[in-house]
A and B are shown apart, each in its own frame.
Chain A
Amino acid sequence: MDLVHSVILGFQASLQPINLLYCLIGVTIGTLTGVLPGIGPTGAMALLLPATFHAPPLASIIMLAGIYYGSQYGGSTTSILVNIPGEPSSIVTCFDGNQMARQGRAGPALGISAFGSFIAGTIGLVGLMLLARPLANLALSFGPPEFFSLMIMGLIILVYLTQKSLTKAICMGALGLILSYVGTDLISGQIRYTFDIDPLLDGIGIVPIVMGLFGVTEVFENLEETVETSLYQTHIKGLLPSRKDWAASIWPIIRGTVIGFFLGILPGGGAVLASFVAYAVEKRISKHPEQFGKGAIEGVASPESANNAASSSAFIPLLSLGIPPNVVMAMLFAGLMIHGITPGPLLLQNRPDIFWGVIASMYVGNVMLLVLNLPMIGIWVQITKIPFRLLFPLIILICIIGVYSISNSTFDLMVMIIFGVVGYIMKKCEYEPAPLILAYVLGPKMEQAMRQSLIMSDGSFTIFIVRPISGVCLAVAAFLLITAVTGFSKKKRLAVLPDETI
Chain B
Amino acid sequence: MKRGWRVFFACWVMFLSGNAMAAETAYPDKPIEILIGYGPGGGTDLGTRVVAEEAKKYLGQEVVCINKPGGAGRVAVTLVSKAKPDGYSLVSATDSSLLLIPHLEKVAYKPLTDLTFIAQYGTLDFGLTVIANSPFKTFKDVIQFARANPDKLTWGIIGVGSADHVAAQAIAHRENIKIKFIPFDGAASSMTALLGGHIMITAPASSGYAPHVKAKSARLLAVLGEDRLDQYSDVPTLKELGYPEIVFQSWYVISGPKNMDKAVVKKLADAFKKAMTAPSFIKMANEIEIYTKKPLFGDELRDALVKRDKTMEELFTKLGIVAK
Residues of A that sit less than 8 Å from B by CB: 42-43, 45-46, 49-50, 53-54, 139-144, 184, 186-189, 191, 198-199, 201-202, 267, 317, 321-325, 327, 330-331, 333-334, 337-340, 342-346, 407-409, 448, 451-452, 455-456, 458
Known: A344-B214, A455-B180. A186 touches B46 (CB 8 A): no
Closest to B45 in A: A46
Known: A49-B46, A142-B196, A189-B104. A42 touches B161 (CB 8 A): no
Please give, as numbers and ranges, the residues of chain B lying within 8 Å of A334 by CB-CB distance.
41-42, 45-46, 288
Closest to A407 in B: B68
Interface: B40 (CB within 8 A): yes
Interface: B274 (CB within 8 A): no
On whether the beta carbons of A337 and B288 are closer than 8 Å, the reply is: yes
On whether the beta carbons of B195 and A202 are closer than 8 Å, the reply is: no
Binds A, one of B186-194, B243-251, B297-305: B186-194
A112 to chain B, nearest CB (A): 33
Interface: B61 (CB within 8 A): no
On whether the beta carbons of A407 and B67 are closer than 8 Å, the reply is: yes
Closest to B70 in A: A202
Question: Total contacts A to B, CB within 8 angstroms?
Answer: 154
CA distance A342 to B287 in the complex (A): 9
CA distance A451 to B40 in the complex (A): 27
- Sorted nearest first, the 7 A-B pairs with minimum C-beta distance are A202-B70, A46-B40, A143-B198, A331-B41, A201-B71, A140-B196, A322-B211
Residue in A317, A324, A337 whose Cβ sees the most chain B Cβ within 10 Å? A337
- Chain B interface size band reads 35 or more
Known: A202-B69, A324-B188. A191 touches B105 (CB 8 A): yes
On whether the beta carbons of B189 and A407 are closer than 8 Å, the reply is: no
Q: A198-B75, A339-B287, A345-B215 are in contact. List 20 more A-B contacts (CB 8 A).
A: A42-B39, A45-B41, A49-B49, A144-B182, A184-B70, A188-B183, A189-B105, A189-B161, A198-B108, A267-B192, A322-B212, A323-B188, A331-B40, A334-B42, A334-B46, A338-B288, A340-B287, A344-B215, A346-B214, A448-B185
B56 to chain A, nearest CB (A): 10
A396 to chain B, nearest CB (A): 24
Interface: B181 (CB within 8 A): yes
Interface: B142 (CB within 8 A): no
Please give, as numbers and ranges, the residues of chain B lying within 8 Å of A333 by CB-CB distance.
41
Please give, as numbers and ranges, the residues of chain A lying within 8 Å of B46 by CB-CB distance.
49, 334, 338
CA distance A142 to B192 in the complex (A): 9
Interface: B313 (CB within 8 A): no
On whether the beta carbons of B182 and A452 are closer than 8 Å, the reply is: yes
On whether the beta carbons of B195 and A140 are closer than 8 Å, the reply is: yes
Residues 252-281 of chain B: 1 if any A CB is under 8 Å from the residue's CB, otherwise 0? 000000000000000000000000000010
A-B contact pairs, 20 of them (CB 8 A): A45-B40, A141-B196, A144-B182, A186-B159, A188-B160, A189-B104, A191-B71, A202-B70, A202-B75, A267-B189, A322-B215, A325-B188, A330-B41, A331-B40, A333-B41, A337-B211, A338-B288, A342-B211, A344-B217, A408-B68
On whether the beta carbons of A202 and B40 are closer than 8 Å, the reply is: no
Please give, as numbers and ranges, the residues of chain B lying within 8 Å of A345 by CB-CB distance.
215-217
Task: List residues of B (53-68) whose CB comes within 8 Å of A's CBs.
Answer: 53, 66-68
Please give, as numbers and ranges, the residues of chain A lying within 8 Å of B184 by CB-CB distance.
186, 452
On whether the beta carbons of B215 and A327 are closer than 8 Å, the reply is: no
On whether the beta carbons of A456 and B182 are closer than 8 Å, the reply is: yes
Interface: B154 (CB within 8 A): yes
CA distance A408 to B79 in the complex (A): 12
CA distance A141 to B192 in the complex (A): 9
Please give, as numbers and ranges, the residues of chain A lying within 8 Å of B210 by CB-CB distance.
342
On whether the beta carbons of B70 and A199 are closer than 8 Å, the reply is: yes
Residues 188-225 of chain B: 1 if any A CB is under 8 Å from the residue's CB, otherwise 0? 11011101111000000001001110111100000000
CA distance A333 to B182 in the complex (A): 25
Please give, as numbers and ranges, the residues of chain A lying within 8 Å of B191 by CB-CB distance.
323
CA distance A139 to B189 in the complex (A): 12
Known: A334-B288, A338-B287. A43 touches B70 (CB 8 A): no
CA distance A408 to B105 in the complex (A): 26
CA distance A188 to B324 in the complex (A): 13
Interface: B112 (CB within 8 A): no
B191 to chain A, nearest CB (A): 6
B211 to chain A, nearest CB (A): 4
Set A188, A327, A409, A456: member contacting B40, Cβ < 8 A: A327
